[in-house]
Amino acid sequence: MYNKCKELKKKTKGITLVALVLTIIVLLILAGVAISFTIGEEGIFRKAQDASKLYENAQENEMISLEEISNYIDDLNKGNINNGEDEEEIKENIPNKPRLKQGMTAIKFNEPTETSKGTVVETNINDNSWYNYDEQKWANARTEDGSMWVWIPRFAYRINESNQTVDIVFLQGTNDNYYDEEGILREAKRCKNADDIVDTTEGFTVHPAFTDESMVGYRNGGWDSEIEGIWVAKFEAGYATGGENTATVKASSVNYTQNQVWTPAVENGTNAEGNLSARNWLDGIYGENETAIKYPTFQGSTYSMIYISTGDIYSISRALTEVGNIYGLSSDTDSHMMKNSEWGAIAYLTQSKYGVYDKEIAINNHNENSGGTSQTKAEGNNLASVYAVTGYNDSGKKWNEYLGGQNSPSSTGNIYGIYDLSGGIWERTAGYINNGNTYLSMYGSSYVTGTSDKYAIVYPYSDEGADDIEREKNNYALNTKIYGDAIREISQDGAGSTGWHGDYSNYPQSNHPFFGRGGVFSDSGSAGSVAFTVTNGGCHFRSGFRCVLI
């Protein structure tokens, strides 16, 4: 019995070792399979890696798809997509859609008739009748104070000296491409180096007002980035509550810096013009007292804002978007004093088929000539100091009364255009010669730096010559590079009235280092959309301004 038990033990031990070995072998086999399944070509890890890559690709593809959808929608808004229309439609040069800013509402007009005035109608960006540049109906908008603004879309241009007109092709987005008459895609030229001389009578040139000129020293009045268009005040600046407007009278953060103004004989009670204590229509006579500049409004039938220096114009123009303004504008909008480049953009669109083309717009020669009596002047009564009124034509009709045609004071010949480009008051623009004259610091210290920037253009000068006329001509001759500003390209000389349609063409010199544009109510044939003149920059009854929003 004992021996059987020992033998049974031995047999049991043997079986256990064999089973153990077999178990180990099985485990090794299973481990191999598991490892292969986990990290092999078809393993879990590889599958996980592939899944992760697929997820990343899916995310990337989704972002691309979303971007493509966004671009497609944007192209639809801009008119780049023809929605199934024929190939010809895609190749049309369509203006960039207006970009409304905070505080702006799209508007259109019921045009005037023989028996009724034109009226403003609020609309929205989806209204197909909001604007049509082919029909000379430029896009308009209104800010909360009632000021009106007109959209000037990005374009390239070509000057036609023979018939004094401008060819325009609109540019899509912020690129320089356009379709020529044969439907071939072309690229418009531009200034790429500070010393470039660009011939704007051959081919098409991107207008500098819409381009990033930071790399060429803002030579031609460009901006610090590429832009799709600009909003230009429809009328020159007027006093709030002047005429028919209802804008709120509110002080800005900017104070007048001048204590004297240049007045006409009717106001100073003599037979000659001369300096008097500072005054204006809203504040009366304030002299040396610290006085805040009231926010201007840009409406028709409004007393034009005068007696303000070029430096103060610059300051109040920059303040239109400050906190508490009357327009509803926010700080993401840039407001500034109009530059010559921006005036040029308006003038060129005006002299194209999208404006009055080869016609001269009618002068606004309306003058209230309200100098007041000695009693009202002594009391500082605000009924004094009223002269130009915005939006009139040469027949004494208001901006919303005339029916268009030859006597239109509008850039388009109808109610959709820009007014007061001829007559009204001379409009100061942010351009000057840096000749060291004391008036530069006296009247323009807020923006005169000596070099061009995105807010002002510095022009060449020599100031050599026997008299002012000779110096104007000499300085003009030095201006061989700057284009787009309706100065060198549309005039033959720097003195007299050698511009298109016989408009003024007087270039800054000596004691008159600043520019003025458009003409004044007392001018006749020499006022116009391409007129330019000189000014010392001081407060004057013939000078005012206009603003631009970007």
* In the block, residue with structure tokens 């001379």: 426
Average pLDDT (352-373) is 89
To the nearest 5 percent, what fractions of the chain are helix, strand and coil?
Answer: 25, 20, 55
Q: What is the mean pLDDT of the chain?
A: 86
CA Rg, the chain, in Å? 35
Three-state helix/strand/coil letters over 220-274 = CCCECCCCCEEEEECCCCECCCCCCCCCCCCEEEEECCCCEEEECHHHHCCCCCE
Q: Which helix (H) or strand (E) holds 4?
A: helix 2-39
Strand order in the sheet with 165-170: 165-170, 155-160, 205-206
DSSP secondary structure string, 490-503?
GBS-SSSS-BGGG-
Closest CA to 442 of 509, 513, 385, 338: 513
* pLDDT for 22 beyond 80: no
SS3 of 425-485: CEEEEEEEECCCCHHHHHHHCCCCCCCCECCEEEECCCCCCCCHHHHHHHHHHHCCCCCCC
Question: Residue 341 is encoded by which pair of tokens?
Answer: 């480049």
**Largest CA-CA distance found in the chain, in angstroms, rounded:** 156
**Contact, 232 vs 418, CB < 8 A?**
yes
pTM: 0.83
Residues across the chain: 550
Flag the least confident range among 251-260, 296-305, 362-371, 487-496: 362-371
- Given the structure tokens 């006579």, which residue do they identify? 285
Per-residue model confidence (pLDDT) at position 381: 54
Q: What is the DSSP string of 27-79?
A: HHHHHHHHHHHHHSTTSHHHHHHHHHHHHHHHHHHHHHHHHHHHHHHHHHHHT
Give the per-residue pLDDT at 445: 96
pLDDT by residue (tens digit) across 186-242? 999 999 999 999 999 999 999 999 999 999 999 999 999 999 999 999 999 999 998
Question: What stretches of 303-383 adopt beta strand conformation (E)?
Answer: 335-337, 367-370
* Rounded mean pLDDT, 163-175: 96
Q: Which residues lie closer than 8 Å to 510 by C-beta, 6 or more apart?
A: 435, 437, 463, 468, 471
Residue 35 is predicted with a pLDDT of 53
pLDDT at residue 224, rounded to an integer = 97
What number is the average pLDDT over the span 19-40?
61
The pLDDT of residue 346: 98
Tell me the pairing of strands 148-153 and 140-142.
antiparallel
pLDDT at 355: 97
213: three-class secondary structure by DSSP: coil
Helices 2-39 and 44-78 pack at an angle, to 10 degrees, of: 20
The pLDDT tens digits of the residues spanning 417-465 come to 999 999 999 999 999 999 999 999 999 999 999 999 999 999 999 988 9
Q: What is the pLDDT of residue 114?
A: 84
